[in-house]
Amino acid sequence: MLAKVIAKQTLTGLSFLHKHNIAHAEPNLPAYLVRPASYPINIKSSFDTIKIVHFGQSFFNNDSPGAFHTPLYYRAPEIIFNDNVDHRILVSQMLEMSGDTIPDRWQKQWHAMNSKQLRDYEHRSLQSGFEEVYFDEEKKQDVSREDIIRVGVLVSSMIRLEPSVRASVNTVLQDAWFQAS
């Protein structure tokens, strides 16, 4: 499955960055280089490697910037609440998607924000969002429901609001779903 190959390559690249104490705090999702979209007969072999590019706001873990230019939707809760930054954050962390609760130490600040921008997100689970995207009646389904459920579990483990309970890139890479590829 092509999506699995790309996800594994991406996580491997991020693991390399983390191993070298580099945080990728790009305002947008990381940019990747893949081969051109001319599809040869063996499509899988054309995606043997991807490269993470456009490091924009990357920094060493011990030298985080004073200000982040990351849109609110993609910010880690530690950044929103001016807490210590957890550099292992891979995906956007919104309360609506994580299905998690705000840790007690951030509750007061969360309610004080009372921001329209924070309230206007439609509430839906990450898993229902995945299923809506991948199992649209009009699309060809080339990903199994079991794979989508496993991806949902893995992504959810990485976007927990409490940094100490988030899965690391290496933990996710060791999951049986990736090992089976």
Of 19-33, 86-100, 122-136, give the lowest mean pLDDT range: 86-100
Secondary-structure breakdown of the chain: helix, strand, coil percentages, each rounded to the nearest 5: 45, 5, 50
Decide: 177 and 154 in contact? Cβ < 8 Å: yes
- CB-count burial class (<10 Å; 0-12, 13-18, 19+) for 22: middle
What band does 172 get if pLDDT is binned at 50, 70 and 90? very high
What band does 55 get if pLDDT is binned at 50, 70 and 90? low
Task: Supply the DSSP symbol for 166.
Answer: P
pLDDT tens digits, one per residue of 17-47? 888 887 776 545 555 555 555 555 555 555 5
pLDDT at 113 over 80: no
pLDDT number for residue 53: 64
What does pLDDT average to over the chain? 68
pTM: 0.56
Task: Supply the DSSP symbol for 26.
Answer: -
Higher pLDDT, 137 or 123: 137
pLDDT number for residue 145: 82
pLDDT at 54 over 90: no
pLDDT tens digits, one per residue of 133-167? 777 666 666 678 888 888 888 988 887 778 888 89
- Alpha-carbon span 160 to 61, nearest angstrom: 20
- Alpha-carbon span 33 to 79, nearest angstrom: 28
List domains and CATH numbers for the chain: 2-179 (1.10.510.10)
